[in-house]
Chain A
C-alpha cells in the first residue's frame, strides 16, 4: 500500500515570497495494492508533481510517503527505483537511444539491484526471456534485439519502456501521460497494451492522462486534482457510472 500523508510542495523560481506557487497543498492519498488509478486535472493542478514526489524526483516540503508501512520520504530517486517502474511522457526519456534493445533490457532487468562491475552484462538465459516478453508485447521486435533503440518509433519506444518498467516487477507502476506524445492510433495501442500488462501482472498502477475518455475507460479508480488539492476520488461502481459530461461539469464547478 502506498500512502501520501500531508504532502505539501511549493515551487519558487524567483526567491520572492509573493512568487511562491503551491503545487500540492497537504495531500492525503491511499492507494491499495492492485488499484489501477487514473489521474486527471488541468495543467498545473499538481498531478505530475505528485507522481514526481512519489518517484523521488524532488523532495516534498512537508509530509511523508509511506510504502508498505515504511517511510521512503528520505530515499533518493535512484534508491526508490526498485519500488517503482516509470514511463514518461517523452518517449526519449525512458530508454537509451544509442544502446541496443537488448542492452536496454539488460539494464532494466537489474532495476533496483546492484549492477556488478565484474559480471558480464549480457546473459544467455536472459535472451530467451526477453524474446518471450517482446513477443508478449507484440511489438515485432523479438528478432531485432541488437538494433539500437534510436531507430524505433515513438510508440515502440514507449511500449519498450513499459516492458522495461515491468521487467523487474515494481510495487507501483507510474505512468506520466505516457501516450500523450503519440498519435491517436498508436496511443490506443499502447493503452490497450498497458491495461493488458497491468491486469496480467496484477500491478498497482497510477496513470496520469489528459484524456477523460481514457481516464474513465481504464482503471478501477479515478482521481482529479485541482490547484494542488484532490477534488474527486471515486472507485469501482461509482467510477463506472461516471461519464465525460459529469467530469466536464466537475471541471467547470471547481474552476470557478
Chain B
C-alpha cells in the first residue's frame, strides 16, 4: 500500500473514534454547558471493559456493547451527584473520574482471574476485535476494512444523535442547556434533561474508548489521558473552521474537526515534532483553536451590531 494512503488511514483510525469522543464532549460542554470531567473516566471504562471482556473470551460486539453501557453508568453517576446530591458540576465529574481509575484496575484484573489488579492488558494476535471479524484473508486491506467499520459506526451514531436532538425532547434539552430558566418556564424538567444528556454523552465517549482500544489491541490504565483536551480541541477547531450556524452544521463541524485535528498532529510529527512532546502540541493546538474562535466571534459581533442598527 502506498505510504500516503497508509498515513491517511492511520489518521482516520485515530480520528474516527475521536469523532464520537468529541460528540460526547460537545453534548455536555456545548449543549448542556457542563464541563464534564467524567469524559476521560468513561473513555477508560469503555476501553478497559472492551479489552478485558474480549480477553476472557466474550464476543467483541457484546464486549463493546457492555463497555458502552459502562460509560452510560459513569455519566448517570455524575448526573446523580450533580442533580440529587447538589455537588458542583466540576466536582461531580472529578469524583466519577477518580473512581474509574480504580475500577479500571479491577476490570483489567478479571483477565487474571479477578484476584489481581492489572494496569495493562494486551490482546494477542488471535484475539478477535470488532474489526478483525471482517478481515477475512485480505491481510493488506486490513487498515482499510478497519477504517470502513469505524466510519460506519461513527455515521450511524451521528445520524441517531442528529435525529434525537431534533425531536421535541432533544430540542427541549438544547433549550435547557442554553437557558435553564427558560427551560423551567417552558415546563421542562431540567434535572432530568441533565441526567439524560450526561448519560448519553458518556455512552458515546465509552464507545469511542472501546473502538480506540480495540484498534490498539491493548488497554493501559493511562490510555485515556489527554483525550479530554483532544475532544475539546476537535470541537473548537471544527467550529472555527466549519462554523456553527445550525445544529446539523455543528455536528458536521465536530466530525471534521476531529479529523483535522489528527491531520495537524500527524503532519507536525511527520515534520519532525518530537512525538514525546505531543501533549505540548495538543495544548498549543487548543490555544490556536480558541484564538480562531475568538476572532470569529468578534467578527460576528460586528455583524450583529450592524444588523441591529439597520
Point out residues on A near B: beta carbons under 8 Å: 55, 57, 77-79, 81-82, 84, 86, 88, 92-100, 103-104, 106-108, 110-113, 115-122, 146, 150-153, 164-165
Say how far A144's CB is from chain B's closest CB, in angstroms.
10
A122-B166, A150-B304 are known contacts. Are A103 and B171 too (CB-CB below 8 A)?
yes
Cross-chain contact of B171 among A84, A93, A121 (Cβ < 8 A): A121
Q: Tell me, rounded to whole Å, the shortest Cβ–Cβ distance linking A227 to chain B.
A: 27
**Contact between chains at A110 and B174 (CB < 8 Å):** no
Q: Would you call A96 and B167 a contact (CB within 8 A)?
A: no
Complex CA–CA separation, A81 to B309 (angstroms): 35
A103 to B308 Cα, complex, angstroms: 21
Alpha-carbon gap, A164 to B181, bound state (A): 14
- Which stretch in B53-61, B132-140, B187-195 binds the other chain? B187-195
Are A96 and B182 within 8 A (Cβ)? Answer: yes
Q: Is the CB of B186 within 8 A of A121?
A: no
Q: Is the CB of B179 within 8 A of A96?
A: yes
For the complex formed, measure the closest distance between the CB of A130 and the CB atoms of chain B, giving whole angstroms.
Answer: 14
A107-B166 contact, Cβ under 8 Å, with A96-B179, A99-B174, A115-B172 = no
| B185/A86 in contact, CB under 8 A | yes
B167 close to A108 (CB less than 8 A): no
A81–B184 contact, CB under 8 A? yes
Is B273 part of the contact surface with A, judged by Cβ < 8 Å? Answer: no
List 8 other contacts, CB 8 Å, given A78-B184, A93-B182.
A78-B183, A88-B185, A107-B186, A115-B188, A116-B167, A117-B167, A121-B168, A152-B308
Q: Which residue of A lies closest to B304 (CB)?
A: A151
B176, closest chain A residue (CB): A96
Decide if B164 is an interface residue (CB 8 Å cutoff): yes
Q: Cα distance A68–B308 when bound, in Å?
A: 43
Beta-carbon contact of A120 and B175 below 8 Å:
no
- Point out the residue from B175, B184, B304 that lies within 8 Å of A77, measured CB to CB: B184
With A95-B179, A97-B178, A107-B172 as known contacts, state yes or no: A118 contacts B167, CB within 8 Å: yes
21 contacts between A and B (CB under 8 A): A78-B189, A88-B181, A88-B185, A92-B179, A94-B182, A95-B179, A96-B178, A96-B182, A103-B171, A104-B175, A112-B187, A115-B167, A115-B168, A115-B171, A115-B172, A116-B167, A116-B169, A120-B163, A122-B166, A146-B246, A165-B185
Question: Does B143 sit at the interface, judged by CB under 8 A?
Answer: no
User: A107 near B175 (CB under 8 angstroms)?
Assistant: yes
Q: Please state if B179 and A117 are interface contacts (CB–CB under 8 Å).
A: no
Q: Is B277 positioned at the interface, with any CB of A under 8 Å from its CB?
A: no
Of A57, A96, A120, A153, which is within 8 A of B174 by CB? A96
In the assembled complex, the CB of B177 is this many whole angstroms from the nearest CB of chain A, namely: 8
> Once the chains are docked, how many angstroms separate the CA of A55 from the CA of B167?
27
Contact: B187 with A93, CB < 8 Å? Answer: no
A97 to B304, CA, bound (A): 13
Q: Please state if B167 and A93 are interface contacts (CB–CB under 8 Å).
A: no
Q: Is the interface of B mostly helix, strand, loop or mixed?
A: helix
Whole-angstrom distance between the alpha carbons of A17 and B86 in the complex? 25
Task: Name B173's closest neighbour in chain A (CB-CB).
Answer: A115
Q: Give the one of A119, A121, A152 with max B CB within 10 A.
A: A121
Tell me whether B304 and A121 are in contact (CB under 8 A).
Answer: no
- On chain B, the residues within 8 Å of A57 by CB distance are 184
- Within 8 Å CB of A153, what residues of B? 308
Chain B residues with CB under 8 A of A113? 187
Among B169, B186, B190, chain A packs the most CB atoms within 10 A around the CB of B186
Query: CA separation between A79 and B188, bound complex, in Å?
Result: 8
- Residue pair A110, B168 in contact (C-beta under 8 Å): yes
On whether the beta carbons of B246 and A100 are closer than 8 Å, the reply is yes
User: With a CB–CB cut-off of 8 A, which chain A residues contact B243?
Assistant: none
| Pick from B167, B185, B187: contact of A121, CB under 8 Å | B167
CA distance A215 to B234 in the complex (A): 53
Q: Once the chains are docked, how many angstroms separate the CA of A88 from the CA of B185?
A: 10
Residues from 141 to 166 in B contacting A, C-beta threshold 8 Å: 163-164, 166
Please give me the residue from chain B that is nearest to A100 by CB atom. B246
Chain A CB within 8 A of B307 CB: yes
- Verify A81–B304 contact, CB threshold 8 A: no
Question: Closest CB of chain B to A59's CB: distance in Å?
Answer: 14
Question: Closest CB of chain A to B94's CB: distance in Å?
Answer: 27
User: Which residues on the B side are within 8 Å of A86 (C-beta)?
Assistant: 185
Q: Does B293 contact A (CB under 8 A)?
A: no
B-chain residues with CB within 8 Å of residue A146 when the two chains form the complex: 246
A138 smallest CB distance to B (angstroms): 18
Q: Are the C-beta atoms of B166 and A81 separated by less than 8 Å?
A: no
CB-CB under 8 A from B304, the residues of chain A are 150-151
List 9 A-B pairs, minimum CB-CB distance, nearest first. Answer: A81-B187, A117-B169, A96-B178, A115-B168, A115-B169, A115-B172, A121-B171, A112-B187, A96-B175
